[in-house]
Amino acid sequence: MVPLIKIEKRNDVPMALYFFTPFIAIILTILGGGIIFYILGFNPIEALKFYFITPISNLYGLSELLLKATPLCLIAIGLSFCFKSNNWNIGAEGQLTFGAIVGGGVALLFYNQEGFYILPLVILAGAIGGMIFALIPAILKTYFNTNEILVSLMLVYVSKLLLDYLVVGPWSNPEGFNFPETRQFSDSSRMPLLFEGLRIHAGIFLALAAVMLSWFVLYKTYLGFQIKVSGLSLKTAKYAGFKGNTMILVVFMISGACAGLAGVGEITGPIGQLHRMISPDYGFTAIIVAFLGRLNPFGIIFASLVVALTYLGAETAQIFLQIPKYTGQVFQGMILFFLLASDYLLFFKVKILSLKKNELRH
Amino acid sequence: MATDLRISNISKIYPGCVANDNVSLQFKSGKIYALLGENGAGKSTLVKILSGVISPDNGEVFLNEKNLKLNSPLDAKKNKIGMVFQHFNLFETLSVFENLSIDATEDNKSLRVRINEILKKYNFSIDLDVPVLNLSAGQKQKVEIIRCLLRSPKVLIMDEPTSVLTEQETEELFISLKKFCDEGILIIYITHKLKEVLSLCDEVAVMRKGKVVSVSQTQNEKVETLANKMVGQKLAKIRKKINISKNKDEIFKVKHLNFYSDDPFETNLINLNFSVKKGECLGIAGISGNGQNELFQILSGEIITPDTSIIFRNKEIAKLNPKQRREYLMAFSPEDRISQAAVPELKIFENVALNNFKSSNFFEKGLVNERKIKEHSKKILSDFSVNTDNVELKSQFLSGGNLQKLILGRELITAPELLICYNPTWGLDVGAISYIHETLIKINDQEKSTILISTDTEELLKLSDRIAVIYKGTLSKIMPSEEVTPEKLGVLMGGGSID
């Protein structure tokens, strides 16, 4: 007897289950993490506690969680516009960096000035920066048929190298002893803090506003309708006469603006200047957030909190268990893979058949 | 040794469609057999059964009187049935030799020797060590043929082999096939191209709607006789009242329509010129794959071709996209209901919103006006007797006939001056077909015009006022339908000429 695996498409997938599978993926990730800790020689229960509970067991931890979730949520909201319409922008990290460069540039112009108008200008500059940078893959896609996955990904390194050059070269702090960083921004360029002593800042309102706005645009406007149809069937979108190229440009601009806002939120929030490491790959991790949140604005809020926790957990685990903080990426990777696997099982059923040897199929 | 392949009473039924209806055929080596039929006639199903890809509901296959159990492609290979599909199964980035060695059982050295023998014997010139992506379509096909020959097949089945070949390559292929035949390989050649059948094959079986309708010697056949058998001779009994449209205005006029594509699976269109009068139905006949897809997309504005002039109601619209053309009161019903005209995952009212006019106010100032769309959808559902009144229903739960009624309703409720439809009754049951035919006739009665692109001759003769035939991207002269007979259409569809 030879077991045979047959995979069939399921005809009717209940929507409730579709939104439930992310939870299954998270549970599996926690179990998988436990196994990894066990293999590494740690008590899995204790290690998981350090990972998922200790970081948010006090007010400071909760503030850190929201602080990390803010950029993830903002970027993922932007990405959901692209992904829903079949545009694969995976260069949000580059758009974040370029947004931070442009926003940071404006902040540096005003480094020795005060004024209520400075912060809005900086934020606006950041959004425009991200938007412009996202327009590059979009324009190349619409007019030269390039693949946006490759172009947007490669541009990440362009913007990171540009940032490198600026912070060691022209923009480096003249009083900074040649450290690769710019001057500190003036207080007028900094996001107001919400609570004394905690790092959580007003950027979170930008993220919440983005959630509301995106829900409205995606579900209540003609643009949202076009995005939905294009995502389901490009052939239908063409037949309906939607302006495909305009839509590509618009979704990339939205996505880039959100990433740019996230970048400017980081430098005007917790960081306060430009240096090499302004983002622990928020732009890439946000791809996982977008899919874990099912490209739904409210799902994305939830997903950004979960994924932000893996960043915090990794730091706590590094401090208390001396595990490299890169385990955070392991957890993020596991979430994505478990989610993809659950989705696969959601849309396809696997049948195991037994056949006699002479019936063995190819 | 002579080979004798016998198919006995094969039936295969898919939901809503009988693909093979009690098919029995006999083939003997030493001859080239043609299996002729339109798309959807059941040829491919039969071939898939012979190559073990699908199994029949009923019936048996005998090779030299041995009953074959063809449960998988592997079984077909074991029984020395070789198959070359229309779309190649090759790894583009691997070399020719690597492609051939994948499922070989011998070591590379002796395999190479054997391949070289085959290359020499049949005069194939292919470099074994270049990646497959560098080969032309004809060379790729040769690689597929070599793969079959390596297994010294008794039966070789070729599925529409010339659809991607140049004239030159087609000639070379025919020479090789005749050689294989002389060596005792039984060749079954599947096609809808009549001329190829006449020039290559000895015997021809014609299939229509799942049945074998004729088996004959090709020497007794002509293009016309085969075409008639292929498309069916039934003359339309109910014919619409011909519109007396001699003196009416031309509402739609196409000039210099040319289309060139690099894609070998697309058909180039060469200088099409035609016009449609008010209240008239212009039928465009043809065997599928002769440029209808491309023509429809150009008329709807999905493809914009340079230097073409399309005049509609005295306005030049050749550069407008489908949405803009709709504003001028054109409407379109594409062939592909499920992935183009509608999105199955969307709700009925969302699919209705795809045909969006400025005046319909579905999207006021960029916002969705759901109430308006739903009202409008309800009206379509009742006016066009779709068997539901739930506009929130996902379209995937509608039957083909009801979905088509919804689509036609969506296109017609705005009272367009011209409707362009492509195979509007494809795959529908009799009831839905007659409803849609009545609807199309009604439009003409209301002095609105239609262009009907269809592969169904009966439908064309029933509905059209004038008919033209598209063949290999060129359009025949346009004939008043009272002068057209199924025979004439058959000749033109097969690439022949009349008068």
Structure confidence at residue A236 (pLDDT):
93
Structure confidence at residue A354 (pLDDT):
61
Torsion of CA A295, A297, A298, A300, to 10 degrees: 50
Residues B363, A228: C-beta atoms closer than 8 Å? no
Instruction: Find the helix packing angle between A59-84 and A222-232, rounded to 10°.
Output: 70
Locate the chain A residue with the closest alpha carbon to B303: A238
Structure confidence at residue B272 (pLDDT):
94
Task: Say which residues have a Cβ less than 8 Å from residue A46's Cβ, sequence separation at least 6.
Answer: none
Q: What are the residues facing B13 on neighbouring strands?
A: B18
Structure confidence at residue B350 (pLDDT):
93
Residues B268 and B335 in one domain: yes
B499 belongs to a structural domain: no
The nearest CA of chain A is from the CA of B353 a distance in Å of: 9
Residues B339, A233: C-beta atoms closer than 8 Å? yes
Answer yes or no: is pLDDT of A13 > 80: no
CB of B304 within 8 Å of a chain A CB? The answer is no
CB of B339 within 8 Å of a chain A CB? The answer is yes
Give me the residue label for tokens 């000895």: B202
Answer yes or no: is pLDDT of A356 > 70: no
A–B CB contacts, 8 A cutoff, strictly below: 69
Answer yes or no: is pLDDT of A54 > 80: yes
Identify all chain B residues contacting A229, using CB atoms and an 8 Å cutoff. 343, 346, 350, 354
Looking at B176, B199, B231, which one is the last position of a domain?
A: B231
Q: Phi/psi of residue B76, each to 5°?
A: -65, -45
B131 belongs to a structural domain: yes
**Consecutive H or E run containing B123:** none
> Residue B464 half-sphere exposure, CB side, CA atoms within 13 Å?
29
Residues B74, A361: C-beta atoms closer than 8 Å? yes
Answer yes or no: is pLDDT of A361 > 70: no
Residues B264 and B374 in one domain: yes
The nearest CA of chain B is from the CA of A226 a distance in Å of: 9
Structure confidence at residue B481 (pLDDT):
86
Locate the chain A residue with the closest alpha carbon to B355: A240
The nearest CA of chain B is from the CA of A243 a distance in Å of: 8
Answer yes or no: is pLDDT of B477 > 70: yes
Q: Give the pLDDT confidence of A205-235 residue by residue, as tens digits.
A: 999 999 999 999 999 999 999 999 998 988 9
Hey, what are A44's tokens?
A: 């899995």
Predicted confidence band of residue A176 (pLDDT cuts 50, 70, 90)? confident
Identify all chain A residues contacting B367, using CB atoms and an 8 Å cutoff. 220-222
d(CA B279, CA B243): 7
In this complex, the residue of B332, B342, B368 whose CB is nearest that of residue A222 is B368
Structure confidence at residue B208 (pLDDT):
85
Residues B346, A242: C-beta atoms closer than 8 Å? no
Predicted confidence band of residue B347 (pLDDT cuts 50, 70, 90)? very high
Sequence-distant contacts of A208-217: CB under 8 A, at least 24 apart: A210/A73, A210/A74, A210/A77, A210/A78, A210/A258, A210/A261, A211/A73, A211/A77, A211/A297, A211/A298, A211/A300, A211/A301, A212/A297, A214/A77, A214/A80, A214/A81, A214/A297, A215/A297, A215/A298, A217/A81
The nearest CA of chain A is from the CA of B19 a distance in Å of: 22
The nearest CA of chain A is from the CA of B69 a distance in Å of: 10
Predicted confidence band of residue B285 (pLDDT cuts 50, 70, 90)? very high
Residues B366, A223: C-beta atoms closer than 8 Å? yes
Looking at B197, B231, B265, which one is the last position of a domain?
A: B231
The ipTM estimated for the assembled molecules is: 0.79
Residues B71, A228: C-beta atoms closer than 8 Å? no
Spatial strand order in the sheet of B250-259: B269-277, B250-259, B309-312, B315-316
Residues B363, A225: C-beta atoms closer than 8 Å? yes
Quote the distance between the C-alpha of residue A51 and its chain's center.
20
Locate the chain B residue with the closest alpha carbon to A362: B74
Structure confidence at residue B266 (pLDDT):
84
Taken in order of first residue, the domains within chain A and their CATH numbers are: 2-359 (1.10.3470)
3 state SS of B172: helix
Residues B194 and B298 in one domain: no
As for how many domains chain B has, the answer is 2
Pick among B319, B328, B356, B411 to test the A interface (most A CBs inside 10 A): B356
Residues B352 and B448 in one domain: yes
d(CA B111, CA B128): 12
Answer yes or no: is pLDDT of B194 > 70: yes
Residues B348-358: what's their mean pLDDT? 88
Strands of B127-185 (E only): list them. 155-159
d(CA A56, CA A58): 6
| Integer angstrom CA distances of residue A62 from A139, A266, A309, A317, A327 | 41, 17, 10, 17, 20
Residues B133 and B274 in one domain: no
Looking at B187, B202, B231, which one is the last position of a domain?
A: B231
Residues B266 and B181 in one domain: no
Q: Give the pLDDT confidence of B140-185 residue by residue, as tens digits.
A: 989 999 999 998 899 999 988 887 777 778 888 999 999 999 999 9
Structure confidence at residue B298 (pLDDT):
95
SS3 annotation, A217-258: HHHHEHHHHHHHHHHHCHHHHHHHCCCHHHHHHHHHHHHHHH
Residues A236, B367: C-beta atoms closer than 8 Å? no
The nearest CA of chain B is from the CA of A290 a distance in Å of: 21
Structure confidence at residue A357 (pLDDT):
46
Structure confidence at residue B259 (pLDDT):
93
Identify all chain B residues contacting A228, using CB atoms and an 8 Å cutoff. 346, 350
Residues B323 and B398 in one domain: yes
Answer yes or no: is pLDDT of B233 > 70: no
Residues B201 and B349 in one domain: no
Q: Phi/psi of residue A259, each to 5°?
A: -65, -40
Interfacial B residues in 53-112 facing A (CB < 8 Å): 71-74
Neighbours of B478 (CB within 10 A): 17
Residues B96-107: what's their mean pLDDT? 88
Q: If we measure between CA atoms, which residue out of A229, A21, A125 comes closest to residue B353?
A: A229
Residues B302, A224: C-beta atoms closer than 8 Å? no
3 state SS of B384: coil
Structure confidence at residue B162 (pLDDT):
81
Residues B322-338: what's their mean pLDDT? 91
Q: What percentage of chain B reaches a pLDDT higher than 70?
A: 95
Neighbours of A310 (CB within 10 A): 25
Can you give the residue range of the structural domain that contains B165?
4-231
Sequence-distant contacts of A25-30: CB under 8 A, at least 24 apart: A25/A292, A25/A335, A25/A338, A25/A339, A25/A341, A25/A342, A26/A292, A26/A306, A26/A335, A26/A338, A28/A334, A28/A338, A28/A342, A29/A331, A29/A334, A29/A335, A29/A338
Residues B258 and B190 in one domain: no
- Looking at A12-21, B60-69, B283-292, B453-462, which range is the least confident one? A12-21
The nearest CA of chain A is from the CA of B328 a distance in Å of: 13
The nearest CA of chain B is from the CA of A239 a distance in Å of: 6
SS3 annotation, chain A: CEEEEEEEECCCCCHHHHHHHHHHHHHHHHHHHHHHHHHCCCCHHHHHHHHHCHHHCCHHHHHHHHHHHHHHHHHHHHHHHHHHCCCCCCCHHHHHHHHHHHHHHHHHHCCCCCCCCHHHHHHHHHHHHHHHHHHHHHHHHHHHCCCHHHHHHHHHHHHHHHHHHHHHCCCCCCCCCCCCECCCCCHHHCCCECCCCCCCECHHHHHHHHHHHHHHHHHHEHHHHHHHHHHHCHHHHHHHCCCHHHHHHHHHHHHHHHHHHHHHHHHHHHHCCCECCCCCCHHHHHHHHHHHCCCCHHHHHHHHHHHHHHHHHHHHHHHHHCCCCCHHHHHHHHHHHHHHHHHHHHHEEEEEEEECHHHCCC
Answer yes or no: is pLDDT of A57 > 80: yes
Q: Give the pLDDT confidence of B384-403 residue by residue, as tens digits.
A: 988 888 898 888 888 888 89
Residues A239, B350: C-beta atoms closer than 8 Å? no
Structure confidence at residue A358 (pLDDT):
46
3 state SS of B119: helix
B237 belongs to a structural domain: no
Identify all chain A residues contacting B74, using CB atoms and an 8 Å cutoff. 361-362
Predicted confidence band of residue B478 (pLDDT cuts 50, 70, 90)? very high
3 state SS of B125: coil
Predicted confidence band of residue A360 (pLDDT cuts 50, 70, 90)? very low
Answer yes or no: is pLDDT of B235 > 50: no
d(CA A340, CA A21): 10
Residues B322, A238: C-beta atoms closer than 8 Å? yes
CB of A199 within 8 Å of a chain B CB? The answer is no
B355 belongs to a structural domain: yes
Locate the chain A residue with the closest alpha carbon to B337: A236
Predicted confidence band of residue B242 (pLDDT cuts 50, 70, 90)? low
Residues A99-104: what's their mean pLDDT? 97
Interfacial A residues in 212-241 facing B (CB < 8 Å): 219-225, 228-229, 232-233, 235-236, 238-241
**Single-letter residue type at A163:** L
Radius of gyration of chain B (CA): 25
Predicted confidence band of residue B136 (pLDDT cuts 50, 70, 90)? confident
Q: What are the residues facing A6 on neighbouring strands?
A: A351
Residues A240, B355: C-beta atoms closer than 8 Å? yes
The domain that holds B14 is classified in CATH as 3.40.50.300
Do the beta carbons of residue A18 and residue A345 sit within 8 Å?
no
Structure confidence at residue A56 (pLDDT):
92
d(CA B417, CA B443): 9
Answer yes or no: is pLDDT of B187 > 50: yes
Answer yes or no: is pLDDT of A359 > 50: no
Q: What percentage of chain A reaches a pLDDT higher than 70?
A: 96
B241 belongs to a structural domain: no
Structure confidence at residue B16 (pLDDT):
58
Residues B164 and B21 in one domain: yes
Q: If we measure between CA atoms, which residue out of A59, A306, A95, A71 comes closest to residue A191?
A: A71
Locate the chain A residue with the closest alpha carbon to B364: A222
pLDDT averaged over every residue in chain A: 91
Identify all chain B residues contacting A361, using CB atoms and an 8 Å cutoff. 71-72, 74
Answer yes or no: is pLDDT of B54 > 90: no
Residues B124-132: what's their mean pLDDT? 89
In this complex, the residue of B71, B323, B366 whose CB is nearest that of residue A240 is B323
Radius of gyration of chain A (CA): 22
d(CA A84, CA A94): 20
d(CA A297, CA A213): 9
In this complex, the residue of A228, A232, A359 whose CB is nearest that of residue B71 is A359
The nearest CA of chain B is from the CA of A361 a distance in Å of: 6
The nearest CA of chain A is from the CA of B326 a distance in Å of: 9
Question: Is the dihedral angle over the CA atoms A79, A25, A10, B347 positive or is it negative?
Answer: negative
Answer yes or no: is pLDDT of B27 > 50: yes
pLDDT averaged over every residue in chain B: 87
B498 belongs to a structural domain: no
In this complex, the residue of A233, A238, A243 whose CB is nearest that of residue B343 is A233
d(CA B387, CA B435): 13
Answer yes or no: is pLDDT of A1 > 80: no
Neighbours of B313 (CB within 10 A): 15
Do the beta carbons of residue B107 and residue B131 sit within 8 Å?
no
SS3 annotation, B438-455: HHHHHHHHCCCEEEEECC
The segment with the largest mean pLDDT, out of A76-80, A192-196, B192-196, is A76-80
Torsion of CA B36, B38, B40, B41, to 10 degrees: -40
Classify the phi-psi angles of B415: left when phi > 0, otherwise alpha if psi is within -120 to 50, otherwise beta: left
Do the beta carbons of residue B200 and residue B32 sit within 8 Å?
yes
B432 belongs to a structural domain: yes
Residues B106 and B218 in one domain: yes
Do the beta carbons of residue B452 and residue B464 sit within 8 Å?
yes
Residues B73 and B181 in one domain: yes
Strand B58-63 to strand B203-208: parallel, antiparallel, or no bridges (unpaired)? Answer: unpaired
B307 belongs to a structural domain: yes
Q: What percentage of chain B reaches a pLDDT higher than 90?
A: 42
Residues A173-202: what's their mean pLDDT? 92
